[in-house]
Structure 1
Amino acid sequence: MREIVIVDSGSTDDTIELIKSLIDAGWPIRLFQEPWRGYAGQKQFALDQCTQAGA
């Protein structure tokens, strides 16, 4: 697994805690907390954060 990019836009459940536990367990997750940009904007922001090209 290369990297997993997750963009959270203010979830109010236990999403962030769950993701942080996965990071602590060694998963290659990059977590970003950003305001909602709309579907296309949020997806583009996530793609812009990727550091490794897909195969």
Structure 2
Amino acid sequence: MGSKIRIPRDDLIQWVKDGGINKYKEDIAKADAEYEEQQRKSQPYRTGARRRSSY
């Protein structure tokens, strides 16, 4: 019992022309970097507090 994903041929061809898997991977990496940056900016004092308490 295998599951199949059916993608219309024209949609698949257009996806490949638009960059395919490589563009998808780049988009994911960019989104990850933006998320990490957002998380870092939202907690600016967290690492500083740790540094001060370790003295």
TM-score (norm 1): 0.27
Query: Could you say which structure has the higher helix fraction?
Result: 2
TM-score (norm 2): 0.27
RCO (CA 8 Å, sep 6+): is it higher in 1 or 2? 1
Instruction: Report the structure number with the largest CA radius of gyration.
Output: 2
